[in-house]
Amino acid sequence: MKINGNSIRPGNVVEHKGRLWRAVRIQHTQPGKGGAYLQVELKDIRDGTKLNERFRSSESVERVRLDQKPYQYLFADGDMLTFMDNESYEQVTLNQDLVGEPVRFLQDGMEVTIESYEGEAISVMLPDTVVMEITEADPVVKGQTASSSYKPAVLENGIRTMVPPHIEAGTRVVVNTADASYVERAKD
């Protein structure tokens, strides 16, 4: 589907220069001289290379629709991850590079979304948040109550994060998968 050059939004997948790109960041720029344009930071879906491109409203780009399907994570075998289609129970094995940095948050039985283009898996998206247990938490330093203070803690998968002072080891917390930040105490 062709779209106007200045209609690109973050997260859109476009075909540009014969490759598939995901728009990461956009910025509208209106210089004093000349026409306005959209400065777009693009990331190649297959190899992760980045490209900064300018699109004017007179240009058009091909917006690509990706097929999204829910899968269940089963297990890892080296660098390969195995997922199961929730409808057909068919298993698919993908390289962990398709998940990227959030691969550390994959848990057995977790439901993920696999995006594919023309039958080829392009990316694996985890849920925005996961529930994890704190294995280590530093003790609270007295007198740090003047502002909202956070203390370092270690999650069950070994990732370090910052948590509020009332969180102790053994507490289950909700963590953002994008940046490993604390969201809230788990309600279970």
All domains of the chain in start order, with CATH: 2-63 (2.30.30.30), 67-125 (2.40.50.140), 129-185 (2.40.50.140)
Look at residue 46 in the predicted model and tell me its pLDDT.
79
The model's pTM:
0.74
Look at residue 18 in the predicted model and tell me its pLDDT.
87
Look at residue 78 in the predicted model and tell me its pLDDT.
87
Regions of the chain where pLDDT drops below 70: 141-148
What is d(CA 10, CA 29) in angstroms, rounded to the nearest whole number?
A: 16
Q: Regarding beta strands 80-85 and 182-185, do their DSSP bridges make them parallel or antiparallel, or are they unpaired?
A: unpaired
Look at residue 24 in the predicted model and tell me its pLDDT.
87
E strand residue ranges, the chain? 2-4, 13-16, 19-29, 37-44, 50-56, 60-63, 67-77, 80-85, 91-95, 111-117, 120-125, 129-137, 151-155, 160-163, 172-176, 182-185
Q: Is there a contact between 122 and 167 (Cβ–Cβ < 8 Å)?
A: no
List the one residue out of 184, 131, 138 whose CA is nearest residue 157. Answer: 131
| 164: Cα within 13 Å, side-chain hemisphere | 12
Q: Is there a contact between 74 and 91 (Cβ–Cβ < 8 Å)?
A: yes
Look at residue 143 in the predicted model and tell me its pLDDT.
63
Look at residue 144 in the predicted model and tell me its pLDDT.
58
